Amino acid sequence: MVMSAEILIVDDDDNLREVVRYVLDRAGYRVREARDGHEALTSFQSKSADLVVLDVLMPELDGLEVCRQLRKTSQVPIVFLSSRDEEFDKVLGLEMGGDDYLAKPFSPRELVSRVKAVLRRTQGQVSGAEGGEGSLSAGPVRLDGSLHRVWCSGQEVRLTVTEFRLLEVLMRHSGKVYTRDELVERAYPGNHHVSDRTLDSHVRRIRQKFREHDLDPVETVHGLGYRLREL
């Protein structure tokens, strides 16, 4: 169940960690903490987590570098926290492999809402036609919803939770053009804070990963949205 998920909080601000722990404890999650990037990586290596709440601006090893290191071995969902609310910083965090981005100061209720939304995507708890189960194929691409894995020509493509959900939605109705609003509704269930820039960033990440396998599975339909390319 989502509510039993374990969350790793990474922030060098003791007071903020205390607040975040309190609200997530109250929401029913198991929580552990790390005071800096090095401690976070050590903690995650010894015991993984179901989600990481990760501060961007930390001394020595910042959140973006922690994300980069985690993404070498894990697709754990990451929710970035940052005192910088610039669009560039949000896009950079998401393109580094983050699943969501929340600017400080934030309301505790919004944090819990974002965490729940990301974990719902992790658990495949979605409504509508996208059920998160079964196998889908399109050309050399195969997606297994139950295993939460994707392959291209037999080689695994490591996608984050959000990237996986986006690709799954596109593959379930190959050739259908989805507007950005439709993709947000289906791929980000329960999260009404997703901007067009956020969605575009995740699509770019999918494309980058597949281009390593000489394939671009997503087609931009200018003025409308995205669809799965004929593979």
Q: Give per-residue pLDDT as tens, 97-125.
A: 888 888 888 898 899 998 998 888 766 54
Q: Contact 117/190 with Cβ under 8 angstroms? A: yes
- What's the confidence (pLDDT) of residue 186? 85
pLDDT score at 151: 95
Structure tokens at 223: 């003025």
Q: Which residues pair with 231 in a beta bridge?
A: none
Rounded to whole angstroms, the Cα distance separating 124 from 118 reads 10
3-state DSSP assignment of residue 115: helix
Q: What's the pLDDT at 174?
A: 83
Number of C-beta neighbours around residue 145 at 10 A: 19
pLDDT digit string (tens) for 2-22? 447 999 999 999 999 999 999
The β-bridge partners of 103 are 82
pLDDT digits (tens, 9 = 90+) for 39-74: 999 999 999 999 999 999 998 899 999 999 999 888
